[in-house]
Each structure stands twice: as structure tokens, then as C-alpha cells.
């Protein structure tokens, strides 16, 4: 804030505080313009949600707490929200999924910039998410052109910068203020623009090149998940890298073979979420995504979720510990750990 101006002369943005909470069906109704949701059967689930939106002409600063669920953004949603970006962070919880052919995993501390013009599907643990909805035009982008997904992992320069700016937005609003200085919002938008056009980088040139190559390999894996020919040898031939280099790329996931198995598990489980009661679906999904048998697929699902494939998705249920309880061993939390390389799932 410029110190040569009286406080009353500093331009302000007025925010309207919109608070909502209720059952899962209310959550589904409120979020239906953004995505389709299906609850996951998890001990985290309370059957309740809390949502708060600070609304202004410049954007919506939102905070949501919700149950474990699957989310899908379709072309129908993009036709309504395709001119909008969402800058998000998970306070707790997280998500795994894919946006078009790009896999993603969101963890607390990460900051992601999502374009609603891209279709995505994901599995979310019980989570508390904070984020800001911005119109592309306000950032100088063509509202009719998609922009790439950007995710900055926790601890990187850009993630630290964006988290600090999100704190500057949230702290006064959550404390009861109904106004923000325009320059606070201008500064936040400026940091988001920098994330697209010239973000501070981490590591040396070789690290950045290795990360870029890993992104290419991950995109190739995602496109090829349904192919029985996808294996380590196929990737080595496609990209001409050494086995040692490939292993180092996926060291945090316990190797590329484990990474492929985990991505196939996600795709299979998400497919089940669409029609969990359909007869024969479990066998079809296990076969389509490369599991050697229904029994092996069931074991993989049970290891990740603590239940059988047919029982993952259902109605949310009440939890005696209340809506704020978070169980670290819940099914989707365990899947998050697996997708992040903490465990192994054999196909």
C-alpha cells in the first residue's frame, strides 16, 4: 500500500461473503456447474460439506471442505466455465487423476492453476481446498483458448510465492473483513501471470531438462495405459534413454513399472465410479486396464481402499467424530500415498 496516500483514498474491492453447508446432495447441486461428483465409500465421509465464497467483480475467493469423492469435468461444464481459471491449493487431503492426457497428483502445499476449458477426471480424498476463480480475460488471455495445466510442487519457488499471496487474500477475509485493497488483488494476479510467462525456476538446466523429459514420458504412458505392450522396454525404445536414467526419473514412485500399475489402478477405479452397480463391470475394467486377473485386480483395490471394487462408491455416511475429522488411513488417503510412491500395487 502506498504510504503517501491517505488510507481512505486507497481503492478497495468489496466482497460478498456467501456461506453454505449441508448434505452431499446439496454439495452436488452447488457444484454441478463445475463438475459431476460421486461420493466414495470412506470412513472420512460425514455426508456434509462446508463451502464459503468471497465474491467480487474481480474474482471469487473460495474455501471448501468436502467428503472423499470422484470428480469429472466434461465438455458440458467447459461450455459454461471454459473462460475461467482456478488457482487452488489443498490445506489437507489431495487428489489424483488426469487432465486430458496429462496425469496429475495434488498434495498439500502444491499450487495448481486449472483451466476449466480442459476436461479432467479425478479421485479426491476428504479435503479442504482454497482457491481463487479468475476470468482469463482479466489476466490478458484469450477466453476462448485453453491454457496448459500448471502445478507447482510444495517447496518450489513458485509454490512458495503463490502460497504467500493466497495467504494475503485469505487472512483478512477469513478474519471478517469485507474489503481488500485493489493492489492486493493486483499483486496476486501479477504473480499468477508470472507463473505462466516467467516463473522463477528451481534447480539447474540439467534438472529442468530431466523434468521436461519426464513429463513427455508420463504423457506417453498415459496415452498407452490400455495397451498390453506398454512396459519398460517399450519406453526405453521410444525415448532412447538408459534403464538407469528411466529408473531415476521414477525413483520417488518406486520405479516406472510401479508408476504404470498405479496409473492403471486409478483409471480402473475411476471407470467403476461411473456405474458401480453394473453387472460384469469389474471383470471388464480389470481386463481393459491390464490386470492379470479379477483376483489380482481385487487385491490391488483392497490394498488401496480397504474394500472390494464393488463397494468403493456409495452414499456418504455419518461419522461420529464430526465433519472436521480426518483419518490418515482412509481409503482415498491410502490411494494418495500409493500414487505418490509410498507403497506398491502389483497388477
pLDDT of residue 48: 83
Q: Which residues contact 4 (CB under 8 A, 6 or more apart)?
A: none
Nearest to residue 84, comparing CAs of 144, 151, 162, 163? 144
pTM of the predicted model as reported, rounded to 2 decimal places: 0.73
Rounded Cα distance, 76 and 33, in Å:
9
- Domains recognised in the chain with CATH numbers: 13-197 (2.60.120.10), 205-339 (1.10.10.60)
Give whole-number Cα distances, 314 to 40, 45, 70, 264, 273, in Å. 6, 11, 11, 22, 9
Cα torsion angle, 83, 88, 94, 96, sign: positive
Contact 104, 110 (CB under 8 A): no
pLDDT in tens, 230-288: 999 999 998 888 999 899 889 888 899 999 988 998 888 888 887 766 778 889 988 88
Q: Does the structure show a pLDDT above 50 at 190? A: yes
pLDDT of residue 198: 63
How are strands ordered across the β-sheet holding 36-39? 36-39, 69-73, 120-124, 95-99, 102-106
203 vs 298, more confident:
298
pLDDT in tens, 109-151: 999 999 999 999 999 988 999 999 999 999 889 999 998 889 9
Q: What is the mean pLDDT of the chain?
A: 81
pLDDT of residue 281: 86
Amino acid at each position: 500500500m502506498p504510504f503517501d496516500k491517505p488510507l481512505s483514498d486507497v481503492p478497495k474491492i468489496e466482497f460478498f461473503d456467501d456461506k453454505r453447508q449441508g448434505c452431499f446432495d446439496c454439495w452436488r447441486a452447488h457444484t454441478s456447474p463445475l463438475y459431476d461428483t460421486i461420493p466414495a465409500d470412506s470412513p472420512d465421509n460425514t455426508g456434509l460439506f462446508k463451502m464459503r465464497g468471497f465474491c467480487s467483480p474481480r474474482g471469487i475467493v473460495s474455501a471448501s471442505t468436502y467428503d472423499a469423492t470422484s470428480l469429472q469435468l466434461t465438455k458440458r461444464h467447459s461450455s459454461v466455465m471454459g473462460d475461467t481459471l482456478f488457482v487452488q491449493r489443498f490445506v489437507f487431503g489431495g487428489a489424483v487423476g488426469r487432465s486430458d492426457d496429462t496425469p496429475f497428483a495434488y498434495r498439500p502445499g502444491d499450487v495448481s492453476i486449472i483451466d476449466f476449458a480442459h476436461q479432467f477426471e479425478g479421485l479426491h480424498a476428504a479435503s479442504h481446498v482454497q482457491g481463487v476463480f479468475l476470468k482469463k480475460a482479466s489476466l490478458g488471455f484469450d477466453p476462448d483458448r485453453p491454457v496448459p495445466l500448471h502445478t507447482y510442487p510444495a517447496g518450489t519457488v513458485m509454490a512458495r510465492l503463490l502460497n504467500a499471496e493466497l495467504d494475503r487474500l485469505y487472512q483478512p477475509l477469513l478474519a471478517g473483513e469485507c474489503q481488500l485493497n485493489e493492489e492486493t488483488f493486483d499483486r496476486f494476479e501479477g504473480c499468477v501471470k508470472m507463473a505462466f510467462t516467467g516463473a522463477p525456476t528451481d534447480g539447474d538446466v540439467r534438472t529442468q531438462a530431466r523434468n521436461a523429459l519426464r513429463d513427455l514420458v508420463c504423457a506417453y504412458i498415459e496415452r498407452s495405459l490400455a495397451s498390453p505392450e506398454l512396459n519398460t522396454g517399450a519406453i526405453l525404445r521410444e525415448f532412447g534413454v538408459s534403464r538407469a536414467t528411466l529408473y531415476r526419473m521414477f525413483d520417488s514412485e518406486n520405479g516406472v513399472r510401479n508408476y504404470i500399475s498405479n496409473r492403471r489402478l486409478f483409471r480402473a477405479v475411476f471407470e467403476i465410479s461411473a456405474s458401480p452397480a453394473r453387472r460384469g463391470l469389474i471383470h471388464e475394467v480389470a481386463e481393459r486396464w491390464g490386470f492379470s486377473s479379477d483376483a489380482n485386480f481385487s487385491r490391488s483395490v483392497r490394498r488401496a481402499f480397504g474394500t472390494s471394487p464393488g463397494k468403493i462408491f456409495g452414499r456418504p455416511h455419518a461419522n461420529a467424530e464430526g465433519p472436521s475429522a480426518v483419518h490418515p488411513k482412509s481409503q482415498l488417503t491410502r490411494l494418495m500415498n500409493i500414487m505418490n510412491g509410498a507403497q506398491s500395487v502389483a497388477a
